[in-house]
Structure 1
Amino acid sequence: MQDNQAINKARALYYNLFANFFVDTQKTENYFELIRLINILKENPLDPSSGQALVNISEILDSSSNVALLQEFDNIFHNPSTKKIRLTASFYDEGVESGKKRVEMIQFIAKTKLRRDEENYFEYEDSVGFLFSFMAQLCESITNGEKEYENTVHCIFSEIINDFIDEFAKEVYEHESSKVFKELIVVLHSFIEFERLYLSVSKPKVKPKIEEKEVVETISEEELERRARNKALKAMGPKKDQKPTGPIDTASAAESEI
């Protein structure tokens, strides 16, 4: 029992690490939390390769400024002049940004007390950053005695994350602008292999690459508002918050019922 609690705490740390890399935010508090997590995990890595990668990341990153990391993130995921890597499970499943995997994640979320922070986070529920942040919160809840979430964690990993994470990781690792993220993918690879072993989930068979579908998109007013809020939030730049924040609304979570 004690071993499982320690393992779940460690899993939460790793999921939080990845969430802080893949949640698009300019808040310095989140960056300092990321630096803290790197320093913790590099002392007790999963294996030598991920340990060296964490050391490399800590040496590359400026512990006092997130400017370089934000630029690399933009170059990999938002820069139209380079290959743009998609961040949602739905894209790797169907070639569209909002598809069946997003619907599945919304259904999983509805079974928990956790909710998306809709005021500050506007990416889809099956985006990599949200998935990692949500899994971190669930692992934390499990360590606090909420064992009912063990099945939810298993389902999200086996049915959402496991299916696309290898392809996503390969895309990031091979991107021309990937430097810090290339090292991060080494850590992610070790962690995903650990999760598969811990959760008894097999590595999926390699499937044909899904090409992006060209669709005539009918954008609802709600979606237009979501995109406008997201754009405005990014333009505001970093805020002087006291604590790091993420896409999960923990305040609402405490008040919600399953």
Structure 2
Amino acid sequence: MENKQLEEARAFYYGFFSKLFTFISTEDRFNGVEEAAKMLHQNALEANSKEALAHFIENFDEKKLVQEFDDIFYDLANDPVPTTASFYNEEIENGKMKVKMIGIVLASKFRKNEEFKDTEDDVGFIFPFMHYLILKKIEGDEKTALLEEKTFDILNTFIDDFIENVYMHTAANLYKDMAVVLKAFIQTERMYLEKPKPTIEKVSKRNDITTVADKEAKLRKQKKQRNKENLVCSLEEGGDVEDEV
């Protein structure tokens, strides 16, 4: 197939981010992350991500990475970062984006099992699913190319907000570096797949009876907005991106 080297590099990146953002309750969940980071550093996409990877490698500590993950995504006292497309697009969990993702997954040969705790529209599911689709495409399954684009369309709707929230989280240190690397990678994906950064007017879903979950989501969103107004995020768009990794 054309651009096989580039496709393999894309799959490698998605596999790398799967390690970092997918919840797996095993002790060896971050095995191979440091080594993968070193490989990516040798072929960094641009200057900002190269610097971030260097800092990540220099300061890598698996216990610290586990603690950061928990603090950023699960500590209710520390304003956890939402991870689903439904939340970013509708301010609710299990919304329309999840339904769309389930349809895409069912159209593939991929099936969830007990290893996957994240919902279909969660970054923790989308990253390994993209990894799977690209590998299948490399093997010759052309149908996965369309599913890959549809999946990226969903990821594309909220990934910038997700990256910014991770970068700005008070517990982020190693994950701040990974936010920089992820941002650079998403830029290359948009170029490669010809999917521009979307301009989306988020619509809040409201019924006559507002659920407790809706209220909590609204409060979290308001708190995040106040944080954004008080903090200056130095996460930049990055420089020129190389065609190959």
Report if TM-score (shorter chain) is over 0.5: yes
Count of aligned pairs between the two proteins: 211
Distance 1:7 1:13 in 2: 10
Query: Is this contact kept in 2: 1:95–1:212, CA < 8 A?
Result: no
Match of 1:122 among 110, 117, 121: 117
| TM superposition shift of 1:32 | 1.4
The residue type equivalent to 2:93 in the other structure is E
Query: Is this contact kept in 2: 1:76–1:172, CA < 8 A?
Result: yes
The residue type equivalent to 1:57 in the other structure is F
2:191 is aligned with 1:177: no
Residue of structure 2 in register with 1:25 after alignment:
24
Residue of structure 2 in register with 1:231 after alignment:
none
Query: Is this contact kept in 1: 2:45–2:185, CA < 8 A?
Result: yes
Residue of structure 2 in register with 1:167 after alignment:
161
Correspondence list, 1:1-258, <5 A: 1-2=1-2, 4-62=3-61, 66-117=62-113, 119-158=114-153, 160-205=154-199, 207=201, 215-216=211-212
| TM superposition shift of 1:122 | 2.3
* Percent of matched pairs sharing the same residue: 34
Question: 1:15/1:212 Cα in 2 relative to 1: closer, same or farther (>3 Å)?
Answer: farther
Indicate the SS of the match to 2:119. Answer: coil
| TM superposition shift of 1:34 | 1.8
Query: Is this contact kept in 2: 1:26–1:70, CA < 8 A?
Result: no
Query: Is this contact kept in 1: 2:14–2:128, CA < 8 A?
Result: yes
Structure 1 gap segments, 5+ residues each: 218-258
Write the deviation string for residues 212-234 of structure 1: whole angstroms up to 9, x where unpaired. 995157xxxxxxxxxxxxxxxxx
**Under a length normalisation based on structure 1, what TM-score does the superposition of the two structures give?**
0.77
Question: 1:192/1:100 Cα in 2 relative to 1: closer, same or farther (>3 Å)?
Answer: same
Query: Is this contact kept in 1: 2:83–2:123, CA < 8 A?
Result: yes
Question: 1:59/1:164 Cα in 2 relative to 1: closer, same or farther (>3 Å)?
Answer: same
| TM superposition shift of 1:121 | 2.2
Question: 1:212/1:180 Cα in 2 relative to 1: closer, same or farther (>3 Å)?
Answer: farther
State which drifts further: 182-191 or 25-34: 25-34
| TM superposition shift of 1:108 | 0.2
Indicate the SS of the match to 2:76. Answer: coil
Indicate the SS of the match to 2:140. Answer: coil
Distance 1:29 1:75 in 2: 19
Distance 1:208 1:93 in 2: 5
| TM superposition shift of 1:165 | 0.5
State which drifts further: 173-182 or 140-149: 140-149
**Under a length normalisation based on structure 2, what TM-score does the superposition of the two structures give?**
0.80
| TM superposition shift of 1:35 | 2.1
Residue of structure 2 in register with 1:228 after alignment:
none
The residue type equivalent to 2:197 in the other structure is K
| TM superposition shift of 1:59 | 1.2
The residue type equivalent to 1:38 in the other structure is A
Query: Is this contact kept in 2: 1:20–1:34, CA < 8 A?
Result: yes
| TM superposition shift of 1:25 | 2.4
Distance 1:212 1:28 in 2: 41
The residue type equivalent to 1:188 in the other structure is L
Query: Is this contact kept in 2: 1:172–1:181, CA < 8 A?
Result: yes
Question: 1:210/1:46 Cα in 2 relative to 1: closer, same or farther (>3 Å)?
Answer: farther
- Cα RMSD for the two superposed structures: 2.0
Residue of structure 2 in register with 1:247 after alignment:
none
| TM superposition shift of 1:208 | 5.3
| TM superposition shift of 1:48 | 1.7
| TM superposition shift of 1:29 | 3.4
Structure 2 gap segments, 5+ residues each: 214-245
